[in-house]
Structure 1
Amino acid sequence: MKVGCIGLGDIAQKAYLPVLGMQPGLELHLQTRTPATLDRVADSLHVPAAQRHATLDSLLAQDLDAAFVHAPTEVHPEIVTRLLEAGIPTYVDKPLAYELTDSRRLVALAEQRGTALAVGFNRRHAPGYAQCADHPRELILMQKNRVGLPEEPRTMILDDFIHVVDTLRFLLPGPFDDLTVRARLRDGLLHHVVLQLAGDGFTALGVMNRLSGSTEEILEVSGRDAKRQVVNLAEVIDHKGQPSVRRRGDWVPVARQRGIEQAVLAFLDAVRAGEVLSARDALATHELCERVVRAVQEGPGAA
């Protein structure tokens, strides 16, 4: 099985390539426009010279069975378009694109070509978060905070807050009929954003503070007098009377803890089975993010 990896930045090196490099029967092809990075990463994975590519044209000439896209978001539309037009099943790190029109076009193109397209919402596969789907969810609260990183709204929401949005959508126990966005925007930079989704019998809150003083990610689901809390994707605490704590095992890889390994293997298994994966549900998360962006830029009521 020939698999290409386009873009060799931090997320590819730390999360995806360690998983791909360990898969038996997989011929890994790497592509980046930076020669020094290409050679350094390829050497670390013992990838032969013939499987190192400086251009997308060279990579596409290899008759790939699948491709992973980890290039910067702004070039996703161009790269994913070429992969889909070549009929190559494609896994792209979130988001599909910064602009919703591009995301919709890519999903439509995948469907027209009958080609699999998957978006890397790895938290759906993270063990701690997957366990929350089986817990009562009358109230859902997710915080994903950073230190000293206020950012332009569209970039912050589509590159980072999108994980919060998608996790809320994944855990909602039913359709929402009320959406509220609150944010602090100063000098064109987004300091924090709060998204509330509410429906019949439930409320979900997603929070991101880029000036929080701490880098943290906390998910809580509660209902029927019980609560489950997941701290930094590693520690699961059940609250029903006395708290019960389950911590990540010392030998559990970070990629497995964060759901990346599971997402990669599920995609590869689908490709081997000839299953055409749809990105329609992922597109719904992009559409919801667009409503958040509009609400932040234009003020309350724009969503």
Structure 2
Amino acid sequence: MKVGVIGLGDVAHKAYLPVLTAQPGVIPHLHTRSRATLDRAGDAYRVPGEHRHADLDALIAAGPDAAFVHAPSGVHAGIVTRLLTAGVPTYVDKPLAYSLGEARRVVELAETRGVSLAVGFNRRHAPAYVHLLEHPRDLILMQKHRRGLPEDPRRMVFDDFVHVADTLRFLVPSHVDRISVRTRVRRGLLHHVVLEMSGDGFTAIGAMNRVSGSAEEIVEISGQDRKREVRNLAEIIDHKGQPSVRRRGDWVPVARQRGIEQAAVAFLDAVRAGRRLSAQDALRTHELCERIVLAALEEH
């Protein structure tokens, strides 16, 4: 199975290349425009020279069975469009694009051509978050904070808060009837955002503060007089009387803890089985992010 890996930066090296190069039957084909970066990655993962491509057309000409796109967010739409046009099933890091219009065009292209398109919302596969689905979820609280990183609203929301928006959508127990957004923008930079979604019997609240003093991610769900908390995707705390704590095992790889390994393998399994994956649900998350960006811009 020939698998293209496009973009060889930190995300590819820390998360995806160790997973993909360990999969039986996967033959990686690497692409980046920098020959030095290409050769460093190729040497590190023992990828033969003929499977290293400094040109995207050359990688496509090699006939990949699937592709993973880890290039910068701003070029996702263009690269994915070329892959889908060539009929290559594609997995792309979030976001599909910084603009909702571009994201819609890419998803429509995949649907029209009948080609699989998956967006890397790895938290939907993270074991600690999957375990939350077995728990009552009357109230869902998610916080994902940063230190000293106020940013342009569109980039902040689509590059980072998108994880909060999508994880809440994943965890809500039924249809969302109401959505509200509150933001704080100063000198054109988004400092914090609070998203609230509610429906029949539940409320979900997501918050991000980019000047919080620490980097952390915390999810709490509660209902039926029980609460479950997940800290930094590694620690699960159940509250019913005395709290009980379960921590990630010392030998569990970070890619598995964060759901990246499971997301990548699920995509490859679907390609092998000939099952087409649709990005329509991922597009709903992009629509929600656009709504948040517009709220921030209105405040500014």
Please classify the TM superposition score into its range, dividing by the shorter chain length.
Answer: over 0.9
Equivalent pair of 2:185/2:299 in contact (CA under 8 Å): no
Counterpart for residue 176 of structure 2: 176
2:30 equivalent to 1:35: no
The SS at the match of 1:133 is helix
The question of 1:282 aligning with 2:276 is answered no
Would you say how many aligned residue pairs link Structure 1 and Structure 2?
300
The within-5 A match list for 1:135-174 is 135-174=135-174
Which residue in the other structure is 2:269 paired with? 269
Q: Equivalent residues in 2 for 1:69-88 (5 A)?
A: 69-88=69-88
Deviation, structure 1 residue 299: 3.5
Which one-letter code corresponds to 1:101 in the other structure? G
Structure 2 match to 1:220: 220
For residues 277 and 191 of structure 2, what CA distance do their matches in structure 1 show? 36
The amino acid that maps onto 1:261 is E
Map 1:89-128 → 2, pairs under 5 A: 89-128=89-128
Secondary structure class of the residue paired with 2:134: coil
Identity of aligned residues (%): 70
Task: Report the equivalent of 1:296.
Answer: 296
Per the TM alignment, residue 291 of structure 1 is displaced from its structure 2 partner at its CA by 0.6
TM-score (norm 1): 0.98
RMSD over aligned Cα atoms: 0.9
User: What is the alpha-carbon distance in structure 2 between the residues aligned to residue 294 and residue 199 of structure 1?
Assistant: 23
Q: Which runs of 5+ in 2 are unaligned?
A: none
Which secondary structure does the structure 2 equivalent of 1:214 belong to?
coil
Question: 1:284 and 1:62 mapped to 2: Cα distance?
Answer: 33
Deviation readout 1:25-46 (Å, 9 max, x if unpaired): 1110000011111111111101
Question: What SS does the aligned partner of 2:220 have?
Answer: strand
Deviation at 1:51, TM superposition (A): 0.6
Please name the residue that 2:53 is paired with: 53
Q: How far does residue 261 in structure 1 lie from its aligned partner after superposition?
A: 0.3
Mapped partners of 2:115, 2:45: distance in 1: 29
Unaligned runs of 5+ in 1: none
Question: Partners in 2 of 1:177 and 1:296 — Cα distance?
Answer: 21
Counterpart residue type for residue 197 of structure 1: M
1:209 is matched with: 209
Report the equivalent of 1:185.
185
Q: In the alignment, does 2:64 pair up with 1:64?
A: yes
TM-score (norm 2): 0.99
Tell me which residue corresponds to 1:14.
14
Deviations 1:5-55 (A, max 9, x none): 000111111001110010111110000011111111111101110011101
> Structure 1 CA distance, aligned partners of 2:200 and 2:125?
26
- The 1-side partners of 2:94 and 2:272 are apart by 23
CA drift at 1:274: 0.3
**Structure 1, 266-275 or 72-81: larger mean CA deviation:** 72-81
Match of 1:245 in 2: 245
